[in-house]
């Protein structure tokens, strides 16, 4: 009887043979990742609906805590919704430049207001040291009513930051690197 260590790698139907840089010995059974894209980069609510369906179908992935309402924080990554951001920024008296001229990020901060304020100052200093400009912050509306006690105990204070692109940066990738 062969030990598991010396056993040949398990093969799945349709799995290719070892070739080039690909080696089926490095395959793992791993669920928990799904991709839904429009290969032409078009924005579509339908793609978002399909991505949410993927999340629902990955419920079995096992990345959850002992509480049924404490999980791994799985989510969906989408293109920047400029029209939406422009609208919500207006409500917070922030003026956003055109698409591609700014970035947005979610920053998870401590619940303690003094520590939160200090970390936001440090964050802004770093952004400025990279030659970019902080346009402003907004506090995100959240609803933790469905979270388990474990998740609530470590729940961060979430703020959204908007960062203007330095006009001297002509290359999109250079801006990405600065961010």
Structure-token pair, residue 7: 């056993």
State the DSSP code for 139.
Answer: E
Kindly provide the residue ranges of all beta strands, DSSP E only, lying in the chain, ordered along the sequence.
102-109, 133-139, 157-164
Structure-token pair, residue 151: 């998740």
**Alpha carbon distance 164, 83 (integer Å):** 16
Is 66 tagged catalytic? Answer: no
Q: Are 58 and 32 in contact (CB under 8 A)?
A: yes
* Dihedral sign from CA coordinates of 160, 123, 79, 170: positive
Residue of 31, 63, 140, 158 with catalytic role: 31
Structure-token pair, residue 155: 């729940």
Structure-token pair, residue 160: 């959204």
Residues with a catalytic annotation lie at 31
């Amino acid at each position: 009887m062969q030990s598991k260590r010396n056993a040949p790698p398990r093969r799945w139907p349709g799995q290719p043979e070892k070739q080039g840089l690909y080696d089926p010995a490095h395959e793992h059974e791993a669920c928990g990742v799904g991709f839904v894209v429009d290969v032409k980069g078009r924005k579509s609510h339908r793609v978002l609906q399909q991505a949410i369906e993927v999340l629902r179908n990955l419920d079995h992935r096992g990345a959850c805590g002992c509480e049924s309402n404490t999980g791994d924080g799985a989510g969906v990554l989408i293109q920047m919704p400029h029209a939406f951001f422009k609208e919500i920024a207006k409500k917070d008296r922030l003026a956003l430049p055109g698409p591609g001229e700014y970035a947005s990020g979610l920053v998870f901060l401590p619940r303690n207001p003094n520590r939160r304020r200090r970390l936001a100052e440090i964050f802004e200093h770093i952004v400025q040291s990279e030659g970019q400009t902080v346009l402003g912050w907004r506090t995100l509306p959240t609803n933790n009513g469905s979270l388990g006690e474990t998740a609530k105990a470590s729940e961060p204070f979430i703020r959204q930051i908007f960062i203007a692109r330095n006009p001297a940066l002509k290359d999109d990738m250079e801006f990405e690197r600065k961010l």
